[in-house]
Amino acid sequence: MVVEVVLKILAIISGEYGKRHVANIQKHGPDDWEIEAWQAPAILPPVIDYPEDYLPEQMPAADLILSFAEHKGVAELLPDIAGMTGAQAVLVAVDNEAWLPRGLARQLKGWLSAMQVACATPKPLCTLTESDYKITRRKRETYTSPLISEFARYFGQPDLKITVDPETRTISAAEVRRDAVCGCIRYVAEKLVGVPVDEAEEKAGLLHHHYPCLASMVKLDDYNHDTLMHESGHMLRDNINEQIKPFKDTQYISPGERSE
């Protein structure tokens, strides 16, 4: 049995990246979620000694903080923001490692853990599920927070339900069970209907880039010198591939024989 959780969300933004995320959550999230946004300061020092100098006197009450800020200095403000809002969970998008370097991510989790506040740092954001998320290509980290899990029921790792017409071998329906926070998966789903299954993965990859994905194009060692944008695309194509595989036209080649 799934228990509905009504969320009060405070989204922290600093640019168009965060604005697009908030707009998609407001449009496609549950109607009873309460969502407010706070614009973080555009300029922050390398080390923040007095967080109160960069925060308003009051902030709205919140259960869950979503950090879409594009500046690593905001991470140093998050414990104070959690205290001011009463939030019990913090989700930090790592679609660019410059926004939350690995060492700072570990520090942030320690600060929030001392406050008994849950923290998840999916890298990239669209690897988030109801129980875990990626921090490297081959490593997923688990978390325990009903608030983050409730958010991840609707937004995070791509989850499309693909229906294929077996006669025409084309996609007849693509239902979004979990969208990416940015809205990319809903965009892809709308344009996949009618596409032949043999072309679906390539088409999805192109649509993913055309949306466009705003994850970083910097190559990372812990992603086998690949980028977070490509990792995001891999997640989408893998979700589609496992469903259309039985309908794809597989050619077999025998040694010494010409394939038909």
Q: Residue 134 in contact with residue 123, Cβ under 8 Å?
A: yes
Q: Which of 35-49, 107-121, 217-231 has the lowest mean pLDDT?
A: 35-49
In a domain, 229, yes or no: yes
Share of the chain above pLDDT 90, in %: 86
Q: Which of 41-50, 146-155, 171-180, 204-213 has the lowest mean pLDDT?
A: 41-50
* Confidence at 254, pLDDT banded by 50, 70, 90: low
Average pLDDT over residues 166-191: 96
**Residues 66 and 83 reside in one and the same domain:** yes
- For residues 36 and 34, what is the distance between their CA atoms, to the nearest angstrom? 7
* Confidence at 16, pLDDT banded by 50, 70, 90: very high
Q: Which of 154, 177, 209 is the last residue of a domain?
A: 154
Residue whose token pair is 């939030």: 87
Average pLDDT over residues 117-126: 98
**Residues 123 and 242 reside in one and the same domain:** no
In a domain, 254, yes or no: no
Residue whose token pair is 């690995």: 102
Instruction: Give the model's pLDDT for residue 6.
Output: 78
In a domain, 252, yes or no: no
**Residues 77 and 139 reside in one and the same domain:** yes
Q: Which of 124, 154, 184 is the last residue of a domain?
A: 154
Q: Which residues pair with 13 in a beta bridge?
A: 39
**Residues 25 and 102 reside in one and the same domain:** yes
Q: What is the pTM of this model?
A: 0.91
Average pLDDT over residues 86-102: 96
**Residues 142 and 172 reside in one and the same domain:** no
At 161, which amino acid appears? K
For strand 64-67 and strand 89-92, is the pairing parallel, antiparallel, or unpaired? parallel
Q: Which of 93, 125, 154 is the last residue of a domain?
A: 154
The count of structural domains within the chain is: 2
**Residues 143 and 61 reside in one and the same domain:** yes
Size of the chain in residues: 260
Q: Residue 217 in contact with residue 203, Cβ under 8 Å?
A: no
Residue 180 has pLDDT above 70, yes or no: yes
Provide φ and ψ at 42, rounded to 5°.
-75, -30
Instruction: Give the model's pLDDT for residue 250.
Output: 63
Average pLDDT over residues 61-82: 96
**Residues 93 and 114 reside in one and the same domain:** yes
Share of the chain above pLDDT 70, in %: 94
In a domain, 148, yes or no: yes
Number of Cβ within 10 Å of residue 119's Cβ equals 24
**Residues 144 and 184 reside in one and the same domain:** no
In a domain, 2, yes or no: no
End-to-end CA distance of the chain: 51
**Residues 141 and 14 reside in one and the same domain:** yes
In a domain, 120, yes or no: yes
**Residues 13 and 118 reside in one and the same domain:** yes
In a domain, 259, yes or no: no
Average pLDDT, the chain: 93
Angle, vertex CA 107, rays to CA 104 and CA 112, nearest 5: 125
Span 124-169, pLDDT tens digits: 999 999 999 999 999 999 999 999 999 999 999 999 999 999 999 9
Domain range for 164 is 159-247
Provide φ and ψ at 122, rounded to 5°.
-65, 135
**Residues 17 and 142 reside in one and the same domain:** yes
Residue 203 has pLDDT above 80, yes or no: yes
**Residues 13 and 141 reside in one and the same domain:** yes
In a domain, 255, yes or no: no
Instruction: Give the model's pLDDT for residue 47.
Output: 82
DSSP string for residues in the chain: -PPP---EEEEEE-SHHHHHHHHHHHHHS-TT-EEEEEE--S---SS-S-GGGGS-S-----SEEEE--SSTHHHHHHHHHHHHHT-SEEEE--SSTTTS-HHHHHHHHHHHHHTT-EEE--SSGGG--SSEEESSSS-EEE---HHHHHHHHHBSS-EEEEEEETTTTEEEEEEEEEB-TTSHHHHHHHHHTT-BHHHHHHHHHHHHHHTT--S----BGGGTTB-HHHHHHHHHHHHHHHHHGGGS------TTS---
Residue 218 has pLDDT above 90, yes or no: yes
Instruction: Give the model's pLDDT for residue 257.
Output: 56
Average pLDDT over residues 20-46: 94
